[in-house]
Structure formats: C-alpha cells, structure tokens
C-alpha cells in the first residue's frame, strides 16, 4: 500500500515577513519613479521646463538685467531654475496621485500589509530623487553659462537647503493632489504658481520691483528659497537668508504635509 506524504510548507513563504517601514518606503519610491518615466507632466517639469526657461531667460534678458543692476544675476537665476522643478514638479506628482486614486491603486494598497507611512515616506524619497536628477541637469546647463559655486565647501549646505525646499513643495503638491477631485481641479493651482514664478528675486533683482511691492516680493516663498540658495552657493549666506527659508519650508512640510496626510487617508477611494 502506498502512502501519501502530507504537504510541507514552503520555507521561503513561511520565513517571509513584510518589509520594514524604511523598506516599504523605498519600494514605493522605486515604484513611483518607474511610473513617472511614463508620465509626461513630471518629465517636462523636471527637465525640459527649467532648462528651456533658463536658456531663454539668460539669452534674452541676462545682459540687460546685469547691466541695469550692476551685479551678476546668474546665481539667483540658477536658484530659481532649481525652485521651478521643485514647485511645478511636485504639483505634477500630486496630479499623478489623483490618477492612482482614480485607477484604484491606493485602494489595493489597503488590502496589503503596507503601512500608510510607507506610502507617504516613499513619495518623499521619490521627490528627492527626482529633484536630484533635475538639479544635476540644471547646474550643468548653468555652468555652461558661467555659474560657479564659491567652492566645494558650500555645496553640502546648498544641498541641505535644496532638500528642505523640496520637502516643502512636496507637501504642497501632495496636499493639492489629495484635496482635488480630479486632475483638472489640481491643474487650476498652476495659475498661482505662474504668478509666483514672476514675483520673485530670481527673475529680476528686488530693486527692480516697485517700492511698494518689494516687501511683499521679498517675503514670498519662492523669493525666500531663491535668496537662500543664491547666498549659499556663493558662500555669503547668513541668518537673513537661511532662517526665513527654514521657517517657511519647515512650516510647509509640517503643517501642510500634516493636512495632506490626513486628506490622503480619508480620500483613498
């Protein structure tokens, strides 16, 4: 008489455990970066838009601005071209969140052993990687037009400030994506971003604005970000440039990011 052996468990399956929060966030970041390769708005805002805008602005207006102000404006313009992909790219990433929600991807995650924090943290990692690639391209192009760091010692502080600024705009983008019912609604915020794109010290020096408008322009978040990155890249950063940026973008990350996390939790379907 033959006997049938009882089925044995697959040891690899039995030994499997869900990844840690960090591991889950890295998996989410990789998934997003692969998806973003096929999402044109993010690619355009990350690479094409800042480079084209930089070349056009520097070629057409660069000499005129420097002649009128008597200073080399390329460092501030470079800073602005780094803020652009952080600002507009994060908004495009927020729009991709809406696409995922409408496709039911976020709902599927709820049925898997995935921590909600892994999704949020993964999106932050993905944004930092995206901005790292964008910054590399922008700085290379800026170097061709004469931009230079004051020295290698200023780069770590400059990079740290770029991370802080990126996280602040990431919080805004994800909150807009979580709060918007559809992509068209989220795109409506682009009009406000365009206004901020021109009302800042990266386009023209602060002195070029009307006297009554200068205090407002100087306090706007894009100007604050440009001033900090500009000063840090030239080794001239002080509390007047660094502190406002840390306050602005630290508050955006904590306050707006907290609102965005709550909205994402309540509108995953």
> Mean of the pLDDT values across residues 238-258?
96
When pLDDT is cut at 50, 70 and 90, the band that residue 5 belongs to is low
For position 266, what pLDDT does the model report?
A: 75
pLDDT at residue 204 tops 90: no
Helix and strand counts by DSSP (H, E) for the chain: 14, 0
Residue 203, SS3 per DSSP: coil
Q: Would you state the pLDDT for residue 197? A: 92
Task: Decide if 127 contacts 164 (C-beta within 8 A).
Answer: no
Q: Which residues contact 36 (CB under 8 A, 6 or more apart)?
A: 42, 43, 93, 96, 126, 130
Helix, strand, or coil here: 234?
coil
Q: Which residue has the higher pLDDT, 67 or 189?
A: 189
User: Strand, coil or helix: what is 47?
Assistant: helix
User: pLDDT confidence of 19, banded at 50, 70, 90?
Assistant: confident
CA nearest 170: which of 134, 204, 206?
134
Average pLDDT, the chain: 88
Helix, strand, coil: what percent of the chain each, to 5? 75, 0, 25
- Identify whether the C-beta of residue 269 lies closer than 8 Å to the C-beta of residue 251: no
Rounded CA gap, 101 and 176, in Å? 13
Of the ranges 103-112, 134-143, 201-210, which one carries the lowest mean pLDDT score? Answer: 103-112
Report residue 257 as tokens. Answer: 């990011």
Give the number of other CB atoms < 10 A from CB of residue 19.
15
User: Which residues have C-beta within 8 Å of that of residue 167, sequence separation ≥ 6?
Assistant: 124, 127, 128, 249, 253, 257
Range from 1-10, 47-56, 186-195 carrying the lowest mean pLDDT: 1-10
- Say what the pTM is: 0.89
Whether the pLDDT of residue 1 is over 60: the answer is no
Cβ atoms 154, 59 nearer than 8 A: no
At residue 264 the predicted structure's pLDDT band, cuts being 50, 70 and 90, is confident
Cα 100 from Cα 129, distance rounded (Å): 20
Most confident of 4-8, 56-60, 181-185: 181-185
Distances (CA, A) of 39 to 9, 42, 66, 83, 86: 42, 6, 37, 20, 16
Contact indicator for 130, 46 with CB cutoff of 8 Å: yes
Residue 219, pLDDT score: 95
Residue 199 has pLDDT above 70, yes or no: yes
Q: How confident is the model over 45-97, as pLDDT tens digits?
A: 999 999 999 999 888 877 677 766 556 789 999 999 999 999 999 999 999 99
């Amino acid at each position: 008489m033959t006997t049938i052996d009882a089925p044995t468990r697959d040891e690899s399956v039995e030994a499997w455990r869900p990844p840690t929060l960090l591991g889950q966030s890295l998996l989410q970041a990789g998934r997003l970066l692969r998806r973003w390769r096929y999402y044109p708005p993010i690619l355009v805002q990350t690479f094409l838009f800042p480079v084209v805008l930089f070349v056009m602005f520097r070629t057409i207006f660069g000499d005129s601005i420097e002649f009128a102000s008597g200073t080399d404006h390329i460092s501030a313009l470079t800073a602005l071209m780094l803020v652009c992909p952080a600002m507009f790219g994060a908004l495009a990433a927020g729009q991709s969140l809406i696409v995922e929600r409408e496709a039911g991807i976020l709902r599927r995650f709820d049925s898997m052993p995935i921590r909600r924090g892994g999704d949020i943290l993964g999106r932050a990692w993905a944004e930092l990687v995206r901005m790292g690639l964008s910054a590399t391209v922008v700085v290379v192009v800026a170097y061709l037009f004469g931009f230079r760091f004051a020295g290698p010692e200023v780069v770590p502080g400059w990079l740290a400030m770029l991370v802080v600024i990126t996280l602040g705009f990431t919080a805004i983008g994800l909150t807009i994506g979580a709060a918007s019912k559809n992509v068209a609604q989220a795109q409506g915020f682009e009009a406000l971003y365009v206004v901020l794109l021109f009302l800042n010290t990266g386009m023209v020096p602060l002195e070029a604005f009307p006297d009554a408008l200068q205090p407002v322009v100087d306090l706007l978040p894009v100007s604050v970000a440009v001033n900090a990155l500009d000063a840090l890249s030239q080794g001239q950063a002080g509390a007047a440039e660094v502190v406002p940026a840390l306050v602005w973008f630290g508050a955006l990350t904590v306050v707006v990011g907290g609102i965005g996390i709550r909205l994402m939790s309540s509108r995953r379907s």
